[in-house]
A and B are shown apart, each in its own frame.
Chain A
């Protein structure tokens, strides 16, 4: 167990290092001259070569790439990601931290929505295999996975915002503003969770100990929930953890559509404005979050499953 954790942490360090190089490279390998871009944006007109050269020196872009990387990464370790080129020259780290809670709020609501819908649906489908419920859940899951969220978003807006006038469409002033974005975001995860709950429950229900339980006369409800679902829960939890990453990625599009001022909207605005420090900071920040989240999931998995835990000890 301890050896596993040590090995896992070592590879984590390597990946984090890789993430920082990737984040830095994405900003500095981009075509075009960032110094000219920024100078002309500040001036509002064509810049002379001297002005561009001055700006290049000011930004430190005349130094060798390795040196630039070291000073950028050194700052990043201390929480300094530089200043944003758009956004009134705010600190990139401040911008990221200010927007993070809103994206997390959206992702968590979406995840809860997905779990509340998908797990009961999956259990119902597994319980009565090939029933109408089973087929209906299959169709729902297929549609949820295939219909693009950015299309569903507008359908929801049209029905609930424009026709029924039940819910607000843009912005984030009240809890009601959370409803449509989180439903949109939840769809994909709900689809995969429904199918996964069904299949892992079906697999567990085929095990010998379930048959024994039934043969010994346990009520089917007890078999289903106490023995079936409990053993099916580990793969379900893993997928819930993994889909958080995808939720955060999906949030980029959903936030953009609903004008939800989270991390994703910040990043997309930064991309459209070619705000390289912001893009680099965003990639480093989200990359680190994903890496740490994967670590947490792996460790939780080891902790939750005695089979893995004891195997680790034996090794």
Chain B
């Protein structure tokens, strides 16, 4: 799994540990929608903080062009200005407004994390459901590939893969997805194996349904919800990984206002102008904290033991 700990986020749940809860929660999941997951979620103060942080972040990303006092790439201040009324977070070496850059950075961080998790979910559902459903040689071979990739801490492998390509946000996203899908694929496969044995699948088979139809109409609808929940839980980890790789110079490149890349730019002037690192660092921390708190709360609410 994730590793993050990486300095990554150890708080993100280990896949193996979430899944039994989620699978068990399957029965609970549907009625929960009626009983109000959201209301139960908001009962916990930490989840409330997480929710507020995430909402603020999404607002910042969506409304960046309206909220930003300056253009993120415009050189319209003195260099290394300290925070002031016209530049709330100060300016960088080239006189760009840090506050505006951070607002636009929210789009990049959230957007990249969102598309990466979309890619991951897609790949995992495809591979996991096909191997779980077909079994046999395909299954054994693919699962050995999965074992091999899982032998490494995800972040470490993502760093190596991203390093092979010309650094950009796209190559970073592909590198993350190419490593991160495996854990999910194993989970999807496990879920498919469990659902495959259920009576309604047997019934569909007896009724003469084709395999592909059974997989798509009967099995996948039961597999998707827990996988989507899991992907949501891991948004914080992904945001952390994205900024870590960009910080190492393996992702977004200057002048892109990506938070990790901004930290990388700021580190050369850290001792003379610490605000260059302080604000992007706080932005990353707030985003990761928000998603982790929300994810933790969601996990508690969905856990049938609670």
Chain A residues with a Cβ under 8 A of chain B: 11, 14-15, 18-19, 21-22, 26, 29-31, 138, 141-143, 145-151, 154-155, 157-158, 162, 184-185, 187-189, 191-192, 195, 243, 245-250, 252-254, 256, 267-268, 271-272, 279, 282-283, 286-287, 290-291, 294
Contact = CB atoms under 8 A, between A and B. Distances in A.
A242 to B, nearest CB: 9
A246 B5 contact: yes
A151 B284 contact: yes
Nearest to B267: A154
A31 B164 CA distance: 7
B10 A185 contact: no
B149 interface: yes
B11 A191 contact: yes
B161 interface: yes
Interface residues of B, number: 49
A53 B268 CA distance: 41
A26 B164 contact: yes
A184 B6 CA distance: 10
Nearest to B249: A272
B151 A191 contact: no
B148 A19 contact: yes
25 contacts: A15-B148, A18-B145, A31-B164, A142-B11, A143-B285, A145-B292, A146-B289, A148-B243, A151-B263, A151-B284, A154-B277, A188-B5, A188-B7, A188-B9, A192-B5, A195-B11, A249-B3, A249-B155, A249-B156, A253-B248, A254-B7, A272-B163, A279-B160, A283-B152, A283-B160
Given A158-B270, A267-B160, A290-B152, A147 B5 contact: no
Contact of B164 (A30, A185, A249, A250): A30
B11 A145 contact: yes
Contact of A287 (B9, B152, B165, B292): B152
B4 interface: yes
Report, nearest first, the 10 A-B pairs whose CB atoms are least far apart: A149-B7, A18-B148, A192-B10, A271-B163, A151-B281, A145-B11, A246-B5, A249-B153, A146-B289, A249-B156
A14 B140 CA distance: 11
Given A143-B289, A158-B274, A286-B156, A148 B240 contact: yes
Contacts, number: 166
A20 B76 CA distance: 52
**Chain B binding surface, main DSSP class:** helix
B250 interface: yes
Contact of B6 (A249, A283, A291): A249
A239 B190 CA distance: 23
B159 A252 contact: yes
A173 B248 CA distance: 24
